[in-house]
Structure 1
Amino acid sequence: MLHWLETLSPLQQALLATGFTWGITALGATTVFVTREVSPRLLDALLGLAGGVMLAASYWSLLAPALEMTQGQWLPVAIGFLLGGAFVWSADKILPHLHLKEPTEGAEGPKTRWHRSILLVLAITLHNIPEGLAVGVAFGAVAYGIPEATLGGAIALAIGIGLQNFPEGLAVAMPLRREGLSPFKSFWFGQLSATVEIPAGVLGAAFVLIAQPLLPYALSFAAGAMIFVVVEEVVPEMQQSGNTDLATLALMLGFVVMMALDVALG
Protein backbone atom coordinates (compact mmCIF):
# COMPACT_ATOMS: atom_id res chain seq x y z
CA MET A 1 0.00 0.00 0.00
CA LEU A 2 2.82 2.40 0.85
CA HIS A 3 4.40 1.80 -2.54
CA TRP A 4 1.15 2.68 -4.28
CA LEU A 5 0.77 5.87 -2.24
CA GLU A 6 4.33 6.87 -3.04
CA THR A 7 3.41 7.01 -6.74
CA LEU A 8 0.82 9.72 -6.04
CA SER A 9 1.60 13.43 -5.83
CA PRO A 10 1.41 15.09 -2.38
CA LEU A 11 -1.81 16.85 -3.43
CA GLN A 12 -3.36 13.52 -4.44
CA GLN A 13 -2.19 11.95 -1.18
CA ALA A 14 -3.73 14.80 0.82
CA LEU A 15 -6.96 14.55 -1.16
CA LEU A 16 -7.17 10.81 -0.54
CA ALA A 17 -6.31 11.13 3.16
CA THR A 18 -8.83 13.88 3.87
CA GLY A 19 -11.42 12.00 1.85
CA PHE A 20 -10.84 9.13 4.30
CA THR A 21 -11.24 11.40 7.36
CA TRP A 22 -14.46 12.81 5.91
CA GLY A 23 -15.72 9.28 5.27
CA ILE A 24 -15.23 8.32 8.92
CA THR A 25 -17.19 11.41 9.97
CA ALA A 26 -19.99 10.36 7.62
CA LEU A 27 -19.84 6.86 9.12
CA GLY A 28 -20.34 8.32 12.59
CA ALA A 29 -23.31 10.31 11.32
CA THR A 30 -24.98 7.16 9.93
CA THR A 31 -25.84 6.10 13.48
CA VAL A 32 -28.93 8.31 13.24
CA PHE A 33 -30.44 5.73 10.88
CA VAL A 34 -30.53 3.12 13.66
CA THR A 35 -31.18 5.20 16.80
CA ARG A 36 -32.07 8.71 17.93
CA GLU A 37 -30.43 8.46 21.34
CA VAL A 38 -26.90 7.86 22.50
CA SER A 39 -25.80 7.38 26.08
CA PRO A 40 -24.21 10.51 27.58
CA ARG A 41 -21.52 8.26 29.05
CA LEU A 42 -20.72 6.85 25.62
CA LEU A 43 -20.66 10.31 24.03
CA ASP A 44 -18.36 11.69 26.72
CA ALA A 45 -16.05 8.69 26.35
CA LEU A 46 -15.93 9.18 22.57
CA LEU A 47 -15.23 12.89 22.98
CA GLY A 48 -12.42 12.04 25.42
CA LEU A 49 -11.00 9.54 22.94
CA ALA A 50 -11.09 12.20 20.22
CA GLY A 51 -9.37 14.72 22.47
CA GLY A 52 -6.59 12.27 23.31
CA VAL A 53 -5.97 11.50 19.66
CA MET A 54 -5.76 15.20 18.84
CA LEU A 55 -3.34 15.89 21.70
CA ALA A 56 -1.03 13.04 20.72
CA ALA A 57 -1.19 13.94 17.02
CA SER A 58 -0.31 17.53 17.84
CA TYR A 59 2.95 16.46 19.42
CA TRP A 60 4.04 13.22 17.75
CA SER A 61 2.99 14.07 14.20
CA LEU A 62 3.43 17.84 14.14
CA LEU A 63 5.45 19.50 16.91
CA ALA A 64 8.18 16.86 17.22
CA PRO A 65 8.97 16.84 13.48
CA ALA A 66 8.89 20.66 13.44
CA LEU A 67 11.45 20.80 16.29
CA GLU A 68 13.67 18.25 14.54
CA MET A 69 13.55 20.24 11.30
CA THR A 70 14.71 23.38 13.11
CA GLN A 71 17.43 21.38 14.93
CA GLY A 72 16.03 22.29 18.31
CA GLN A 73 15.49 26.00 17.61
CA TRP A 74 12.25 26.47 19.48
CA LEU A 75 11.32 30.02 18.42
CA PRO A 76 9.93 29.24 14.91
CA VAL A 77 7.92 26.36 16.38
CA ALA A 78 6.63 28.54 19.20
CA ILE A 79 5.58 31.27 16.78
CA GLY A 80 3.74 28.83 14.53
CA PHE A 81 2.08 27.17 17.54
CA LEU A 82 0.77 30.46 18.95
CA LEU A 83 -0.39 31.61 15.52
CA GLY A 84 -2.40 28.39 15.15
CA GLY A 85 -4.18 29.03 18.44
CA ALA A 86 -4.77 32.66 17.48
CA PHE A 87 -6.29 31.54 14.18
CA VAL A 88 -8.94 29.37 15.86
CA TRP A 89 -9.59 32.02 18.52
CA SER A 90 -10.16 34.63 15.79
CA ALA A 91 -12.46 32.28 13.86
CA ASP A 92 -14.45 31.74 17.07
CA LYS A 93 -15.04 35.47 17.28
CA ILE A 94 -15.95 35.94 13.61
CA LEU A 95 -18.12 32.89 12.87
CA PRO A 96 -21.37 32.22 14.77
CA HIS A 97 -21.35 28.69 16.20
CA LEU A 98 -22.82 26.58 18.99
CA HIS A 99 -20.95 24.06 21.10
CA LEU A 100 -22.44 20.65 21.77
CA LYS A 101 -24.72 20.45 24.85
CA GLU A 102 -25.18 24.23 24.89
CA PRO A 103 -28.60 25.93 24.54
CA THR A 104 -29.15 27.99 21.40
CA GLU A 105 -28.84 31.24 23.34
CA GLY A 106 -25.31 30.18 24.30
CA ALA A 107 -24.07 30.49 20.71
CA GLU A 108 -20.70 32.22 20.36
CA GLY A 109 -19.57 34.77 17.81
CA PRO A 110 -21.74 37.45 16.22
CA LYS A 111 -25.42 37.33 17.11
CA THR A 112 -27.53 35.59 14.50
CA ARG A 113 -30.93 34.01 13.94
CA TRP A 114 -29.46 31.00 12.19
CA HIS A 115 -31.04 27.65 13.03
CA ARG A 116 -29.46 25.54 15.78
CA SER A 117 -28.46 22.86 13.27
CA ILE A 118 -26.41 25.36 11.27
CA LEU A 119 -24.66 26.65 14.40
CA LEU A 120 -23.77 23.11 15.51
CA VAL A 121 -22.33 22.27 12.10
CA LEU A 122 -20.27 25.45 12.08
CA ALA A 123 -18.80 24.60 15.50
CA ILE A 124 -17.53 21.21 14.31
CA THR A 125 -16.41 22.76 11.02
CA LEU A 126 -14.10 25.04 13.01
CA HIS A 127 -12.60 21.90 14.57
CA ASN A 128 -12.07 20.29 11.20
CA ILE A 129 -10.21 23.12 9.47
CA PRO A 130 -6.98 22.65 11.50
CA GLU A 131 -7.36 18.86 11.25
CA GLY A 132 -7.50 19.04 7.46
CA LEU A 133 -4.56 21.44 7.40
CA ALA A 134 -2.55 19.11 9.62
CA VAL A 135 -3.08 16.15 7.30
CA GLY A 136 -2.27 18.18 4.20
CA VAL A 137 0.88 19.71 5.69
CA ALA A 138 2.08 16.28 6.81
CA PHE A 139 1.79 14.85 3.30
CA GLY A 140 3.28 17.97 1.74
CA ALA A 141 6.31 17.69 4.02
CA VAL A 142 7.00 14.13 2.82
CA ALA A 143 7.57 15.43 -0.71
CA TYR A 144 10.83 17.09 0.36
CA GLY A 145 12.36 13.84 1.56
CA ILE A 146 12.97 15.29 5.01
CA PRO A 147 13.82 12.40 7.37
CA GLU A 148 11.57 13.77 10.10
CA ALA A 149 8.55 13.76 7.75
CA THR A 150 7.69 10.22 6.68
CA LEU A 151 4.85 8.83 4.62
CA GLY A 152 4.07 6.38 7.40
CA GLY A 153 3.82 9.24 9.88
CA ALA A 154 1.46 11.15 7.59
CA ILE A 155 -0.68 8.03 7.20
CA ALA A 156 -0.73 7.56 10.97
CA LEU A 157 -1.92 11.14 11.38
CA ALA A 158 -4.71 10.62 8.82
CA ILE A 159 -5.82 7.42 10.56
CA GLY A 160 -5.78 9.14 13.95
CA ILE A 161 -7.79 12.10 12.70
CA GLY A 162 -10.20 9.67 11.08
CA LEU A 163 -10.66 7.77 14.37
CA GLN A 164 -11.54 10.92 16.27
CA ASN A 165 -13.87 12.09 13.47
CA PHE A 166 -16.30 9.23 14.13
CA PRO A 167 -17.57 10.70 17.42
CA GLU A 168 -17.69 14.16 15.84
CA GLY A 169 -20.08 12.94 13.14
CA LEU A 170 -22.19 11.21 15.77
CA ALA A 171 -22.07 14.20 18.12
CA VAL A 172 -23.48 16.54 15.46
CA ALA A 173 -26.06 14.22 13.92
CA MET A 174 -27.52 12.69 17.08
CA PRO A 175 -28.67 15.92 18.80
CA LEU A 176 -30.33 17.02 15.56
CA ARG A 177 -32.14 13.70 15.35
CA ARG A 178 -33.38 14.10 18.94
CA GLU A 179 -34.70 17.55 18.09
CA GLY A 180 -36.94 16.10 15.38
CA LEU A 181 -34.95 16.34 12.17
CA SER A 182 -35.32 13.40 9.82
CA PRO A 183 -32.59 10.74 9.81
CA PHE A 184 -31.41 11.90 6.37
CA LYS A 185 -31.21 15.58 7.35
CA SER A 186 -29.40 14.68 10.59
CA PHE A 187 -26.92 12.57 8.64
CA TRP A 188 -26.48 15.30 6.05
CA PHE A 189 -25.54 17.92 8.60
CA GLY A 190 -23.34 15.44 10.48
CA GLN A 191 -21.17 14.63 7.47
CA LEU A 192 -21.26 18.19 6.14
CA SER A 193 -19.11 19.45 9.00
CA ALA A 194 -16.12 17.40 7.76
CA THR A 195 -16.24 18.38 4.09
CA VAL A 196 -14.03 21.37 4.88
CA GLU A 197 -11.18 18.98 5.72
CA ILE A 198 -10.73 18.09 2.06
CA PRO A 199 -9.99 21.60 0.69
CA ALA A 200 -8.07 22.46 3.87
CA GLY A 201 -5.87 19.40 3.41
CA VAL A 202 -5.16 20.10 -0.25
CA LEU A 203 -4.39 23.75 0.53
CA GLY A 204 -2.07 22.70 3.37
CA ALA A 205 -0.13 20.38 1.07
CA ALA A 206 0.03 23.00 -1.68
CA PHE A 207 1.27 25.64 0.76
CA VAL A 208 4.27 23.66 1.99
CA LEU A 209 5.15 22.61 -1.56
CA ILE A 210 5.41 26.30 -2.47
CA ALA A 211 7.04 27.56 0.72
CA GLN A 212 9.43 24.90 2.06
CA PRO A 213 11.20 27.24 4.54
CA LEU A 214 7.86 27.79 6.28
CA LEU A 215 7.28 24.07 6.86
CA PRO A 216 8.13 24.10 10.61
CA TYR A 217 5.78 27.05 11.04
CA ALA A 218 3.03 25.20 9.15
CA LEU A 219 3.39 22.03 11.22
CA SER A 220 3.38 23.88 14.52
CA PHE A 221 0.52 26.12 13.33
CA ALA A 222 -1.67 23.05 12.81
CA ALA A 223 -0.62 21.71 16.22
CA GLY A 224 -1.47 24.98 17.97
CA ALA A 225 -4.88 25.11 16.30
CA MET A 226 -5.70 21.56 17.37
CA ILE A 227 -4.51 22.09 20.97
CA PHE A 228 -6.70 25.21 21.20
CA VAL A 229 -9.73 23.21 20.06
CA VAL A 230 -9.07 20.41 22.55
CA VAL A 231 -8.62 22.69 25.56
CA GLU A 232 -11.27 25.27 24.71
CA GLU A 233 -14.01 22.96 23.45
CA VAL A 234 -13.47 19.19 23.61
CA VAL A 235 -12.36 18.93 27.26
CA PRO A 236 -15.15 21.13 28.68
CA GLU A 237 -17.78 19.34 26.59
CA MET A 238 -16.71 15.85 27.63
CA GLN A 239 -17.06 16.80 31.32
CA GLN A 240 -20.40 18.62 31.27
CA SER A 241 -22.48 15.50 31.98
CA GLY A 242 -20.51 14.52 35.07
CA ASN A 243 -18.62 11.59 33.52
CA THR A 244 -15.27 13.17 34.33
CA ASP A 245 -13.31 10.04 35.22
CA LEU A 246 -14.57 8.04 32.25
CA ALA A 247 -13.89 10.87 29.81
CA THR A 248 -10.40 11.44 31.21
CA LEU A 249 -9.50 7.75 30.97
CA ALA A 250 -10.82 7.72 27.40
CA LEU A 251 -8.66 10.76 26.60
CA MET A 252 -5.59 8.95 27.89
CA LEU A 253 -6.50 5.88 25.85
CA GLY A 254 -6.89 8.04 22.73
CA PHE A 255 -3.47 9.57 23.37
CA VAL A 256 -1.85 6.13 23.66
CA VAL A 257 -3.58 4.85 20.51
CA MET A 258 -2.38 7.81 18.45
CA MET A 259 1.13 7.59 19.92
CA ALA A 260 1.30 3.90 19.07
CA LEU A 261 0.07 4.56 15.52
CA ASP A 262 2.68 7.21 14.95
CA VAL A 263 5.53 5.11 16.32
CA ALA A 264 4.41 1.98 14.45
CA LEU A 265 3.89 3.67 11.08
CA GLY A 266 6.20 6.66 11.31
Structure 2
Amino acid sequence: MQRFLLLASLVSAWFTALGQTQSINQTTKDWISLSGDPVPMTSGVISSFNHYNKQLLGTSYEDSTFQAGNIRFYGKVPGTRLDSLLGVPMRHDLLTQQLEILAGPNNIRVAQAPQVRQFTINNRKLQAASYYVNVREFRGEADVLLGFFEVLTTGRATLLRYPSAIIRKSDYNVALSVGNKDDALELKQVWYVAKGPKAVVFSPSKRAILSLFADKEADMTTYLKTQKPDLKSRAGLTALVAYYNSLE
Protein backbone atom coordinates (compact mmCIF):
# COMPACT_ATOMS: atom_id res chain seq x y z
CA MET A 1 0.00 0.00 0.00
CA GLN A 2 2.82 2.41 0.89
CA ARG A 3 4.56 1.66 -2.41
CA PHE A 4 1.32 2.41 -4.26
CA LEU A 5 0.87 5.74 -2.47
CA LEU A 6 4.47 6.72 -3.20
CA LEU A 7 4.07 5.84 -6.88
CA ALA A 8 0.82 7.79 -7.06
CA SER A 9 2.50 10.77 -5.45
CA LEU A 10 5.40 10.73 -7.92
CA VAL A 11 3.06 10.37 -10.92
CA SER A 12 0.97 13.27 -9.65
CA ALA A 13 4.10 15.40 -9.18
CA TRP A 14 5.27 14.49 -12.68
CA PHE A 15 2.04 15.67 -14.31
CA THR A 16 2.10 18.81 -12.17
CA ALA A 17 5.65 19.52 -13.35
CA LEU A 18 4.65 18.98 -16.98
CA GLY A 19 1.74 21.40 -16.59
CA GLN A 20 3.75 24.03 -14.79
CA THR A 21 7.08 23.82 -16.62
CA GLN A 22 6.78 27.37 -17.89
CA SER A 23 6.40 28.69 -14.33
CA ILE A 24 10.07 27.97 -13.74
CA ASN A 25 11.63 29.91 -16.58
CA GLN A 26 9.15 32.76 -16.94
CA THR A 27 10.04 36.12 -15.46
CA THR A 28 6.59 37.31 -14.38
CA LYS A 29 7.87 37.86 -10.83
CA ASP A 30 4.82 36.01 -9.45
CA TRP A 31 5.15 34.95 -5.81
CA ILE A 32 5.68 31.20 -5.45
CA SER A 33 3.59 29.08 -3.08
CA LEU A 34 4.86 26.07 -1.15
CA SER A 35 2.94 23.26 -2.75
CA GLY A 36 5.14 21.31 -3.07
CA ASP A 37 6.83 18.57 -4.91
CA PRO A 38 8.06 15.86 -2.56
CA VAL A 39 11.83 16.14 -2.32
CA PRO A 40 13.31 12.77 -3.38
CA MET A 41 15.38 11.07 -0.72
CA THR A 42 17.59 9.21 -3.20
CA SER A 43 21.25 10.01 -3.75
CA GLY A 44 22.60 11.47 -6.96
CA VAL A 45 21.52 14.91 -8.19
CA ILE A 46 20.40 15.88 -4.70
CA SER A 47 22.98 14.76 -2.18
CA SER A 48 23.27 15.03 1.57
CA PHE A 49 23.98 18.34 3.29
CA ASN A 50 27.51 19.20 4.36
CA HIS A 51 28.05 21.55 7.28
CA TYR A 52 30.46 24.43 6.91
CA ASN A 53 33.43 25.62 8.89
CA LYS A 54 32.10 27.09 12.15
CA GLN A 55 35.08 29.46 12.37
CA LEU A 56 33.96 31.55 9.42
CA LEU A 57 32.26 34.82 10.32
CA GLY A 58 29.39 36.22 8.28
CA THR A 59 27.01 34.46 5.92
CA SER A 60 27.18 32.93 2.46
CA TYR A 61 23.49 33.63 1.77
CA GLU A 62 21.72 36.76 0.60
CA ASP A 63 18.76 35.27 2.48
CA SER A 64 19.57 32.48 4.92
CA THR A 65 15.91 31.54 5.40
CA PHE A 66 14.29 28.85 3.26
CA GLN A 67 11.96 30.35 0.66
CA ALA A 68 9.56 28.64 -1.74
CA GLY A 69 11.05 28.03 -5.17
CA ASN A 70 10.94 26.07 -8.41
CA ILE A 71 13.97 24.17 -9.75
CA ARG A 72 14.64 22.79 -13.25
CA PHE A 73 17.46 20.25 -13.51
CA TYR A 74 19.55 19.33 -16.54
CA GLY A 75 18.49 15.72 -16.13
CA LYS A 76 15.99 13.63 -14.24
CA VAL A 77 15.99 13.52 -10.44
CA PRO A 78 17.27 10.04 -9.48
CA GLY A 79 14.49 7.57 -8.84
CA THR A 80 11.83 9.69 -10.56
CA ARG A 81 10.67 10.84 -13.99
CA LEU A 82 10.88 14.46 -12.84
CA ASP A 83 13.26 17.08 -14.17
CA SER A 84 11.71 19.77 -11.96
CA LEU A 85 10.65 20.42 -8.39
CA LEU A 86 7.92 22.99 -7.79
CA GLY A 87 7.09 24.93 -4.65
CA VAL A 88 9.84 23.48 -2.45
CA PRO A 89 11.61 25.35 0.40
CA MET A 90 15.13 26.23 -0.66
CA ARG A 91 18.01 28.69 -0.34
CA HIS A 92 21.08 29.58 -2.43
CA ASP A 93 24.57 29.19 -0.93
CA LEU A 94 26.79 31.71 -2.74
CA LEU A 95 30.10 30.30 -1.48
CA THR A 96 29.61 26.77 -2.77
CA GLN A 97 27.06 27.73 -5.46
CA GLN A 98 24.68 25.02 -4.26
CA LEU A 99 20.94 24.98 -3.79
CA GLU A 100 19.94 23.68 -0.38
CA ILE A 101 16.49 22.11 -0.30
CA LEU A 102 14.63 21.56 2.95
CA ALA A 103 13.25 18.03 2.63
CA GLY A 104 12.06 17.82 6.24
CA PRO A 105 12.98 18.88 9.77
CA ASN A 106 16.78 18.78 10.06
CA ASN A 107 16.97 17.22 6.59
CA ILE A 108 18.67 19.43 4.01
CA ARG A 109 19.41 18.09 0.53
CA VAL A 110 21.93 19.72 -1.82
CA ALA A 111 21.83 20.25 -5.59
CA GLN A 112 25.17 21.22 -7.12
CA ALA A 113 25.30 24.11 -9.59
CA PRO A 114 26.27 21.98 -12.66
CA GLN A 115 23.10 19.93 -12.14
CA VAL A 116 20.64 22.86 -12.07
CA ARG A 117 19.57 24.57 -15.30
CA GLN A 118 17.50 27.31 -13.67
CA PHE A 119 15.49 28.17 -10.59
CA THR A 120 13.04 30.74 -9.33
CA ILE A 121 12.85 31.68 -5.66
CA ASN A 122 10.82 34.08 -3.56
CA ASN A 123 12.69 37.29 -2.77
CA ARG A 124 11.51 38.61 0.61
CA LYS A 125 13.16 41.98 0.11
CA LEU A 126 11.44 42.61 -3.23
CA GLN A 127 8.25 40.75 -2.30
CA ALA A 128 8.44 39.02 -5.67
CA ALA A 129 10.11 36.00 -7.24
CA SER A 130 13.67 36.20 -8.58
CA TYR A 131 14.71 34.13 -11.59
CA TYR A 132 18.18 32.56 -11.94
CA VAL A 133 19.79 30.66 -14.81
CA ASN A 134 22.99 28.62 -14.88
CA VAL A 135 25.98 30.63 -16.12
CA ARG A 136 26.81 27.84 -18.56
CA GLU A 137 23.79 28.91 -20.63
CA PHE A 138 25.93 31.90 -21.67
CA ARG A 139 29.32 32.24 -23.34
CA GLY A 140 32.06 34.84 -23.40
CA GLU A 141 33.13 36.11 -19.99
CA ALA A 142 30.65 33.73 -18.35
CA ASP A 143 32.89 30.80 -19.27
CA VAL A 144 35.08 31.28 -16.20
CA LEU A 145 32.16 31.39 -13.76
CA LEU A 146 30.41 28.75 -11.67
CA GLY A 147 26.88 29.18 -10.42
CA PHE A 148 23.97 31.30 -11.52
CA PHE A 149 23.03 34.62 -13.06
CA GLU A 150 19.97 36.42 -11.76
CA VAL A 151 18.06 37.62 -14.82
CA LEU A 152 16.78 41.18 -14.36
CA THR A 153 15.44 42.02 -17.81
CA THR A 154 15.49 40.36 -21.22
CA GLY A 155 15.35 41.47 -24.84
CA ARG A 156 18.02 42.52 -27.31
CA ALA A 157 20.12 43.02 -24.20
CA THR A 158 19.78 40.88 -21.09
CA LEU A 159 20.81 42.34 -17.75
CA LEU A 160 22.40 39.74 -15.48
CA ARG A 161 23.56 39.90 -11.87
CA TYR A 162 26.18 37.44 -10.66
CA PRO A 163 26.09 37.12 -6.85
CA SER A 164 28.86 35.25 -5.08
CA ALA A 165 30.66 34.97 -1.75
CA ILE A 166 34.37 35.00 -1.02
CA ILE A 167 36.43 34.29 2.10
CA ARG A 168 38.48 37.15 3.45
CA LYS A 169 41.41 35.55 5.25
CA SER A 170 42.49 36.66 8.70
CA ASP A 171 44.97 39.54 8.65
CA TYR A 172 45.85 39.30 12.32
CA ASN A 173 49.38 40.37 13.18
CA VAL A 174 50.51 38.53 16.32
CA ALA A 175 53.50 40.77 16.97
CA LEU A 176 51.45 43.97 16.81
CA SER A 177 48.23 42.41 18.13
CA VAL A 178 46.17 44.12 15.42
CA GLY A 179 43.84 42.94 12.68
CA ASN A 180 41.10 40.32 12.43
CA LYS A 181 41.67 36.92 14.01
CA ASP A 182 38.92 35.15 12.08
CA ASP A 183 38.24 34.55 8.41
CA ALA A 184 35.11 36.29 7.18
CA LEU A 185 32.61 35.71 4.40
CA GLU A 186 31.96 38.64 2.08
CA LEU A 187 29.08 38.85 -0.41
CA LYS A 188 29.78 40.30 -3.85
CA GLN A 189 27.85 41.03 -7.02
CA VAL A 190 29.02 41.70 -10.57
CA TRP A 191 26.82 42.96 -13.39
CA TYR A 192 26.83 41.42 -16.86
CA VAL A 193 25.01 42.22 -20.08
CA ALA A 194 24.34 39.61 -22.75
CA LYS A 195 23.46 40.20 -26.35
CA GLY A 196 22.53 36.74 -27.54
CA PRO A 197 24.52 34.03 -25.75
CA LYS A 198 27.63 36.16 -25.14
CA ALA A 199 27.84 37.82 -21.72
CA VAL A 200 30.28 40.62 -20.86
CA VAL A 201 31.07 42.33 -17.56
CA PHE A 202 29.17 45.59 -17.21
CA SER A 203 30.72 48.28 -15.02
CA PRO A 204 27.94 50.88 -14.98
CA SER A 205 29.16 54.31 -16.09
CA LYS A 206 28.08 56.75 -18.78
CA ARG A 207 31.04 55.82 -20.97
CA ALA A 208 30.44 52.06 -20.58
CA ILE A 209 26.72 52.45 -21.32
CA LEU A 210 27.25 54.47 -24.49
CA SER A 211 29.91 52.02 -25.64
CA LEU A 212 27.79 48.95 -24.96
CA PHE A 213 24.67 50.44 -26.55
CA ALA A 214 26.45 52.32 -29.34
CA ASP A 215 23.72 51.47 -31.85
CA LYS A 216 21.35 53.69 -29.84
CA GLU A 217 23.89 56.18 -28.54
CA ALA A 218 21.75 59.30 -29.12
CA ASP A 219 18.71 57.80 -27.41
CA MET A 220 20.74 56.52 -24.47
CA THR A 221 22.48 59.89 -24.06
CA THR A 222 19.10 61.60 -23.85
CA TYR A 223 17.86 58.99 -21.38
CA LEU A 224 20.85 59.50 -19.10
CA LYS A 225 20.43 63.29 -19.16
CA THR A 226 16.68 63.37 -18.59
CA GLN A 227 16.08 60.35 -16.32
CA LYS A 228 19.35 60.47 -14.38
CA PRO A 229 19.11 56.77 -13.38
CA ASP A 230 20.95 55.54 -10.30
CA LEU A 231 23.64 53.43 -11.93
CA LYS A 232 24.51 51.82 -8.60
CA SER A 233 21.03 50.47 -7.97
CA ARG A 234 19.26 47.37 -9.20
CA ALA A 235 16.16 49.37 -10.15
CA GLY A 236 18.13 52.01 -12.04
CA LEU A 237 20.10 49.49 -14.11
CA THR A 238 17.02 47.39 -14.83
CA ALA A 239 15.11 50.45 -16.07
CA LEU A 240 18.09 51.52 -18.19
CA VAL A 241 18.41 48.19 -20.03
CA ALA A 242 14.62 47.87 -20.33
CA TYR A 243 14.58 51.29 -22.02
CA TYR A 244 17.25 50.21 -24.49
CA ASN A 245 15.23 47.09 -25.29
CA SER A 246 12.17 49.24 -25.98
CA LEU A 247 13.92 51.24 -28.71
CA GLU A 248 13.19 50.25 -32.28
Which TM-score bucket, shorter chain as reference? under 0.3
The two structures have a TM-score, normalised by structure 1, of 0.21
The two structures have a TM-score, normalised by structure 2, of 0.22
Higher share in helix: 1
Structure 1 or 2, whichever has the larger Rg, is 2
Higher share in strand: 2
